[in-house]
Amino acid sequence: MAQRVFWKGYLKLSLVTCRVSMTPAVTESSKLRFHNINSQTGNRVVSRYVDAVTGKPVDDEDQMRGYPRGEDDYVLFDDEELDEVALESTRTIDIERFVPASSIDWIWYDSPHYLAPADKVSEEAFAVIREAMAKSGTAGISRVVLYRREHAVLLLPLDRGMLAWTLRYGDEVRGGEEFFGDAGKDEPSARALTMMKKLIGERIEKWSPSLVEDPVEDRLHAIIKARKKSTKAKAPPKKAEPRRSDNVIDIMSALRKSLASEKKPSGKR
């Protein structure tokens, strides 16, 4: 099934402009979704917005956004006012500057989106921008309004299109220095490092999406399939808690045992 375009606008670099369309690169549509159920009646439980003081339901047309400025005091905005903020970046991705593509740490990356030319006329200008970035090893930095908020975006060439990553803002990313402290300040022994590299080498595989499949999702599907055939629903058995041990294992001993187990022939991998 073709992906549904959720944003259309323009990609602009100086005087070069082309029409583009964007769609999220990831989806959770295949994930299981559960409803809240009243265990006494078997009916669905629905949620509604209610007035915090009167307790009465509030209709959609009466709902506004509010920013708290004091106790029970809010600066109010309606949807139209929020849509009018940052009008220029609502429909135009104007590439303001470029950075080396490898210079941004992954911690800044937020959500990926596919960006492609929206029509035949725009393909040439789009391709020129994309190929110039690919050959120079650079990524474009711009801004765009998505999900009712202006985001900084990183544009990367990808195959015949581009990948537009929304970026986290500077005040959203914490520094790790205080968290890490002095952890690992002492260099590991050369022997332990050699053995660990060998252990890692034994487990290197070619990347495949199957390496990050969700086992919990598979188990839930199996339970649901079984319960569809059952006349009486049963709660899934609780998994036994793994036994905890406070013993500190010698790293060299653990490495030797790990390497020995990797060398044993086994059909499980």
Predicted confidence (pLDDT) per residue in 78-129, tens digit: 777 766 665 556 789 999 899 999 998 889 999 999 999 999 999 999 999 9
pLDDT at residue 140, as a whole number:
94
Which residue is associated with the tokens 């086992």?
Answer: 215
Single-letter amino acid code for the residue at 51: D
Q: Average per-residue pLDDT in the chain?
A: 81
Starting at the edge strand found earlier in the chain, the sheet holding 16-24 runs 92-94, 7-13, 16-24, 109-117, 161-167, 149-158, 138-146, 97-100
Which residue is associated with the tokens 């100086």?
Answer: 14
CA distance 113 to 145: 13
Each residue of 17-47: pLDDT tens digit? 999 999 988 876 667 778 888 888 888 988 8
